[in-house]
Amino acid sequence: MEARNEEMSFERLFKPKNVLIYDAKPKISFFVDGFIRQGYNLENLYLVSTKVEELLGIKCVKSVDDVPVDSIDLVILSVRRDDLIKELSDLLSRKTIKFIHIFTAGTGEFDEKGAIIEKEIKEILNAYPLTRSIGPNCMGLYCPQGNIAYYSSFPTENENR
């Protein structure tokens, strides 16, 4: 029962031991900047990009296969809508992913094609019952205790104490 509780816990979402940003690029550098400002352990922040070699001083790798861990607590997926299904399937087939944040917009809220894509996302995720998702078209997470923020201007401490 204890293993099942660990599988269902949100601990790794709000306090991830490692994070992968997929298709890292300058346009979404605010994610990286948020992790830097929050004091996240950058040794556990992995950036995959075929476009740039580094982003805000953090080295990017070209493929998810170059990421040195098999299990990832949180993936931030930021790809074009037309690439979403292929990239999501590919990621899930190559790594064990606990949580995936789908930043990509233009799905069910946008048009009929987007609604079809959103349905396909659900079908793919159903094949991976231990992976949970937020999004698509979701801005991101903010948890000062876990040193994560999707934007650098958010406070680094919980002000509700």
pLDDT at 159 exceeding the cut of 80: no
pLDDT of residue 1: 41
pTM score, whole prediction: 0.86
- Report the CATH fold assignment for 2-149: Rossmann fold (3.40.50)
- Dump pLDDT digits (tens) for 95-144: 999 999 998 888 888 899 989 999 999 999 999 999 999 988 777 666 66
Q: Give the residue, 44 or 10, on which the prediction is more confident.
A: 44
Pairing mode, strands 148-149 and 142-143: antiparallel
Structure-token match 């159903």, residue found: 126
Q: Give the chain's mean pLDDT.
A: 86
Residues 141, 159, 133: CA angle, nearest 5 degrees: 15
pLDDT at 161 exceeding the cut of 70: no
Domain ranges of the chain: 2-149
- Dump pLDDT digits (tens) for 48-60: 999 999 999 999 9
